[in-house]
Amino acid sequence: MTMTGVILGVLSVITIVSIGEGVKRQVVGQINLLGSDLISVRPGNLVTRDKNGNIVKVNQIGNFAFGSGSMSDSDLETIKSSSGVKTVVPIGLVNSGVKLDDVQYNQSLVIATNDKFPAMLKQTITHGVFFDDTDSNKHVVVIGRRVAENLFAENVPIGRTFTIRGTEFVVIGVFEEFNYSPLAYGTDLNQAIAMPYAAGQELTGHNQLAQVLVRPESVDQTTAAIASINKKMTLAHGGQNDFTVLKQDENLSVVSDILKVFTAFISGVAAMSLLIGGIGIMNIMLVSVTERTREIGIRKAIGATNRQISEQFFVEATILSATGGAIGIGLAFVVNAVLRIVTHLNPVISLEVVLISAGVSIALGIVFGVIPAVRAARKDPIEALRYE
């Protein structure tokens, strides 16, 4: 009970920091994998930039995963026509209505894209094939691992059919496991059902573009390509800046910006609970000092100096808070393991954060142990011996 505050404080600090660290590593890993020349165009004005084009603020945290705003087929053409652009991959969202034998499957992420999707994301197909441009309006899909496991309950459901919005589709391939979330943080591509762009258009009337992935002709031309896309898009949108062009490394700063908000919030909560925890420890120590007045009297009578008495209570307070910290750290590892299992976050607990938490919890005992220790030391031995 006494240690709850410390435990929760340490637990939340370690957990949030480890999630942040995990996300950053994932994004960095993703950048290394996908190459720094990958450009993504998204609807909505997501970031504010300063004069030099550096991101100073992330605008729509809630909408970031798949922004509202509008990007349509005409924008796709605009981007294609920009200079320095080599390949363009549209990611259209099809509001799913996935059914297999009348069983609804809601976890999937149904996207409409083109044949360059695997190459763009450097993703391989383990079984079957990805659709090529000759399949562009055929009702075929390539599915992620989870979809195969959860919807079809088999690893290679190639040739099996299911329906999306009442239209029948055939599985022609299964993706290799996606280790990253290249489209937006938090989307699990292992739940993806990818269909040809034209098929998606046929299904929904028009494609709502969640994102357009662009690769320039060479790495050196990345900046030029971005400038060109920006210029053409702004023109096409009548001067309105309701879209966002991001480089891969900017993804990192966007993600860390979002994390900063969470981290600040959780840190506040953690600081509060550490403070409460410290006060709790002080409280229990004061109670203990009072309850053990007689013990203090005895110890003093047999020759304990004030310093030795205060040391005793000081050490007890520190042990209390350090134990709380240790439990908090232990729980953080448990939470970490749980998070790894149930979510696709890969939280990383660094040695640094563990050492800092341990240090903080010990410091807490030292700070809040002072008053009880001093109070114990100041007790008059005669009075203390009389205490019942």
Strands (E), 2-131: 39-43, 47-49, 55-58, 85-93, 98-100, 103-105, 109-113, 125-128
| Contact window for another protein (CB under 8 A) among 3-11, 108-116, 339-347, 377-385 | 377-385
E strands, the chain, in order: 39-43, 47-49, 55-58, 85-93, 98-100, 103-105, 109-113, 125-128, 140-143, 161-164, 167-175, 192-196, 208-216, 243-247
- 79: Cα within 13 Å, side-chain hemisphere: 27
Question: With binding defined as CB under 8 A, does residue 381 bind another protein?
Answer: yes
Closest approach, Cβ 317 to another protein, in A, equals 17
345 vs 385, beta carbon nearer another protein: 385
Instruction: Determine if 287 is a binding residue for another protein (CB under 8 A).
Output: no
Confirm or reject binding of residue 311 to another protein (CB under 8 A).
Answer: no
CB 43 within 8 A of CB 240: no
Least separation in angstroms between residue 310's CB and another protein is 11
For the CB of residue 322, give the shortest distance to another protein in the complex, in Å: 21
Start-to-end CA span in the chain (Å)? 26
C-alpha to C-alpha distance for 142 and 176, rounded to whole angstroms: 11
Which residue among 55, 276, 304, 367 contacts another protein (CB under 8 A)?
304
Q: Is 170 in the site for another protein (CB under 8 A)?
A: no
Please enumerate, as own/partner, the contacts of 130-135 that have beta carbons within 8 Å and a separation of 24 or more.
130/172, 130/173, 130/194, 131/172, 131/173, 131/195, 131/196, 135/196
Reduced to 3 states (helix: H, G, I; strand: E, B; else coil), residue 89 is: strand
Pairing mode of beta strands 109-113, 103-105: unpaired
Strand partners, 169: 162
CA pair distance 211, 258, nearest whole angstrom? 19
Q: Is 379 in the site for another protein (CB under 8 A)?
A: no
Q: Which of 180, 232, 189, 227 has the alpha carbon at shortest distance from 210?
A: 189
Among 240, 283, 305, 343, binds another protein (CB under 8 A): 305
Pairing of strands 192-196, 55-58: unpaired
The answer to the question of residue 62 lying near another protein (CB under 8 A) is no
288 scored as a contact of another protein (CB under 8 A): no
Question: Applying CB under 8 A, does 290 fall inside the site for another protein?
Answer: no
Q: Where are the beta strands (DSSP E) in 197-277?
A: 208-216, 243-247
The CB-of-306 to another protein minimum distance in angstroms stands at 6
Least distance from another protein to the Cβ atom of residue 385, Å: 7
Pairing of the two strands 109-113 and 192-196: parallel
Q: Based on CB atoms, which residue is closest to another protein, 145 or 292?
A: 292
Which of 156, 258, 298, 331 touches another protein by CB under 8 A?
Answer: 298
Q: Using the rule CB under 8 A, is 80 a contact of another protein?
A: no
301 binds another protein (CB under 8 A): yes
Residue 388: CB minimum distance to another protein, A: 10
Q: Which is nearer to another protein, 135 or 295 (CB)?
A: 295
- The DSSP bridge partners found for residue 92 are 112, 209
Q: Shortest gap between Cβ of 303 and another protein (angstroms)?
A: 2
Residue 116 binds another protein, judged by CB under 8 A: no
The number of residues in the chain equals 388
Rule CB under 8 A: is residue 308 a binding residue for another protein?
A: yes
Q: How many residues at the interface with another protein, by CB under 8 A? A: 17
| Site membership for another protein, residue 374 (CB under 8 A) | no
Q: Quick one: 263 or 290, whose CB is closer to another protein? A: 290
The reply on whether position 342 binds another protein by CB under 8 A is no
Show the tokens assigned to 213: 């992935």
| Nearest to another protein of 133, 291 (CB atom) | 291
Distance of closest approach, residue 292 Cβ to another protein, in angstroms: 9
Q: Does 307 bind another protein (CB under 8 A)?
A: yes
State yes or no: residue 295 binds another protein (CB under 8 A). yes
Task: Please report whether residue 319 would count as binding another protein according to CB under 8 A.
Answer: no
Output the smallest distance, CB 27 to another protein, in A.
54
User: Which parts of this chain interact with another protein (CB under 8 A)?
Assistant: 294-295, 297-308, 381-382, 385
